[in-house]
Amino acid sequence: MRMLINVPETVVADALRGMAAAHPELTVDVENRVIVRRDAPVAGKVALVSGGGSGHEPLHGGFVGPGMLSAACPGEVFTSPVPDQMVRAAAAVDSGSGVLFVVKNYTGDVLNFDMAAELAEDEGIQVAKVLVDDDVAVTDSTFTAGRRGTGATLFVEKIAGAAAEEGQPLERVESIARRVNDNSRSFGVALSAVTTPAKGTPTFDLPPGELELGIGIHGEPGRERRPMMTAREIADVAVDAILEDLDPRDPVLLLVNGMGATPLLELYGFNAEVHRVLAERGVAVARTLVGNYVTSLDMAGASVTLCRIDEELLRLWDAPVNTPGLRWGV
């Protein structure tokens, strides 16, 4: 195993200590594993809280800051955070205007956030929840009932975060978050398996010369395996799978996301092919984001996420954001 770590047992704590050192604009509670924007709670503002297993960085801790999340709760690698973390985060950021939980559709995350919402409400915190389930590749998987939550999580957190930053009420922020999820679809491909620190070896077998279409962000199986394909061929498959499920009557936001080990040189080349397919299918692209945002440790591969947008959602997407993992307009 070749990893830049000390021991597997301290990977998450070590990363949080490093994050605290790099980002004084955040309050990082290493012991309780909660990341909070330092100015929280912000008077009159709905707070956004998300979280999930570590290993998907910059999701979620890297998206804490003005214009996006108020707090994030990192679990162990590929393991849900616990309800106590979520309640602690909600209490730290609630200004009295309510808290929106953004939850990816994985069984552990869903159960723990549901429990946390009940506990937070017992403490007098108003909580709403939105479930992200954008992956078109499979209906059920190792970790989920229904579709998996993947790249659309970024769109939900950014756009709903901008609405909250404007001072919109909880019901409105929740409605916008649901609208973004309902209009988003994703499809991913793995070119190599993922290796977790605890295991030290690949978590699944992907023979040389093959790829997995429709992979999940934890290495869950996809639709099928094929011999290695060109970026052009992969773009055709990924975009067509999304468009089978999403009628692009409006312009779209496009995320071409790396899974952790694919360099930008390849991602930009893949983005060119995705744009080609969308143009051939008559789909207008309003904005494009390329990079590693919703990753799977050291997995090579990429995912494509499309979100149909209107003028309001585009305005909120373009609004300023200032986080470690996403920043513009500031």
d(CA 148, CA 137): 9
Catalytic residue selected from 23, 56, 60, 275: 56
* Strand 327-328 relative to strand 321-322, pairing: antiparallel
Q: Is 218 a catalytic residue?
A: yes
Q: Please, are residues 159 and 177 in contact by the beta-carbon 8 Å criterion?
A: yes
d(CA 327, CA 330): 7
**Crossing angle between the packed helical segments 83-93 and 107-122, to the nearest 10 degrees:** 50
Q: Is 56 a catalytic residue?
A: yes
* Strand 285-291 relative to strand 252-258, pairing: parallel
* Strand 285-291 relative to strand 127-132, pairing: unpaired
Torsion angle in degrees (nearest 10) through CA of 220, 222, 225, 231: -110
Positions marked active-site: 56, 218
